[in-house]
Structures are given as structure tokens and as C-alpha cells.
Amino acid sequence: MNLVFLGMPGSGKGTQAQRYAREHGMHHYSSGDAYRDLLRDADPVATEMQNVIAVGGFLPDHLPIRLLEKSLSQNGNVIDGTPRTIAQARMMERRGILVDKAIHFSLPAEINIERMRARRTCLSCHSIYGHNNPAPSLCCGKEPERRNDDRQESIPTKLHLYRKETFPLIGFYAAKGVLHVLDASNPPQKVYEDLCRIIGL
């Protein structure tokens, strides 16, 4: 079984994906983690991606999909962070990576902005803090900082960019009849129970 989790940063989809996969014996595919792990192993696809990123080039759609292909497990996959575009979603289909269910972690924009503002990270131990686990005043002797990826652009701009890429995917999976929408503004335990119910349908 392959599940695709869609949602913006702050929607909690990463944490839920991790928990769902762990409790159901599935593989949690996170595009960011897979990239870093394969890069460390000097994998040719990850290295090619790194070379493109280093010169600020445009990442061709086939690279993230090849990265995904390398990491898929026979035990089922919770896929988080891929596809990012319709072209990637189509490429997954052509390469036989079928999506059983796509779950959209839906969140009103104002709550999303609030949650993104709350995100902090410790530069030493890489702990991530947010609305569910507020940052302590000190971690590893220093004040946790705003995450780098939350700083590059203003949060509303970032949100707009994510919507631009996420919303067409929602339409794509809805048209395939595999889309399920989850209210991600609920407390994490309630979101998790809703998630289990939807996937179990």
C-alpha cells in the first residue's frame, strides 16, 4: 500500500506520517531525509541532485522520483514530501508507483501562519519545536532559533508558494478518486485517530 500525505509546513503531516508508519509497520518516506541519507552514501541520484542545487539550477522532475523509487519498501509506504508537482505525480504513475490513498492535511491559512511562526530549532542537537512542543528558553545552552527554511521568505509568501504547488495535486488525486481530506487544525491525537479511520476505510 502506498499513501501520499499532502499538506503545508505546519500542518503536522510529517509527525503524523512518522507515527502512522511506525505503528503500522510501514516505511516512512520523507524526501528530505532520503536525500540526506543517500547523499551520505554517495548515491549517484542524490549526488546529481546536489550538483543541480549547488548551482541554483532547476531540479528536473525525474530526480526526486528516482530517489523515491530507490527507497520504497515492500511493506507499504507513507510518502511525505513527494510528489511536489503534477508532472512528478504522473511520472510516479508511469513508473508503476500507484497511490492507494492521498491524504490532504487541511489547515486554515491563519492557523498555518501562526504555527509556522512558532517553529524553532536548536542549531546544536537539531531538535524541532513548534505549537505542540513549545521551545524551551534554552536548548544545548542557546536560545532555539527560527528554522532556516522559515526565514528565507516571509511566511505569507512561503505559504503562497506551497499552495501553488500543493493545490493542483489535491485536484489531481481527487480526480483519481483517491483523495481524503483531514482537518489538521484538531489536536494531534484527534488528527491521528481520524487518519487511522480514513486509511482503514
* Binding to Zn ion in span 107-136, by CB under 5 A: 122, 124-125
Instruction: Rank residues 119 and 158 by Cβ distance to Zn ion and give the closer one.
Output: 119
Q: Which three cell numbers stand for residue 87?
A: 508532472
Measure the CA dihedral 166/169/174/179, to 10°: -70
- Residue closer to Zn ion by CB (options 123, 174) is 123
Closest by CA position to 132, among listed 183, 187, 185: 187
Tell which residue, 106, 111, 113, has the closest CA to residue 157: 113
161 lies in the binding site for Zn ion (CB under 5 A): no
Cβ neighbours, 10 Å, residue 14: 20
Q: Is residue 55 part of the contact set for Zn ion (CB under 5 A)?
A: no
Q: Which of 21, 46, 102, 139 binds Zn ion (CB under 5 A)?
A: 139
Of 92 and 135, which has the nearer Cβ to Zn ion? 135
**Nearer residue to Zn ion within complex by CB, 51 or 124:** 124
* Closest distance to Zn ion from the beta carbon of 182 (Å): 31
Burial class of residue 96 in the structure, from the number of CB atoms within 10 Å of its CB (0-12 exposed, 13-18 middle, 19+ buried): exposed
Q: In whole angstroms, how close is the CB of 143 to Zn ion at the nearest point?
A: 10
Shortest distance, position 66 Cβ to Zn ion, whole Å: 34
- Cβ within 8 Å of residue 2, ≥6 positions away: 72, 76, 77, 79, 97, 98, 99, 100
Comparing CB distances to Zn ion, the nearer of 47 and 124 is 124
CA dist 148 → 23, 61, 128 (Å) = 31, 24, 12
Minimum gap (Å) between residue 174 Cβ and Zn ion? 41
Pick between residue 146 and residue 190 the one whose CB is nearest to Zn ion.
Answer: 146
Query: Is residue 140 near Zn ion by the rule CB under 5 A?
Result: yes
Asked if residue 42 binds Zn ion (CB under 5 A), the reply is no
Residue (of 115, 97, 87, 92) closest to 11 by Cα position: 115
Find the shortest distance in angstroms from Cβ 127 to Zn ion: 5
Secondary structure of 7-27 in the HEC alphabet?
Answer: ECCCCCHHHHHHHHHHHCCCE
- Shortest distance (Å) from residue 130 CB to Zn ion: 15
**Which residues are near Zn ion by CB under 5 A?**
122, 124-125, 139-140
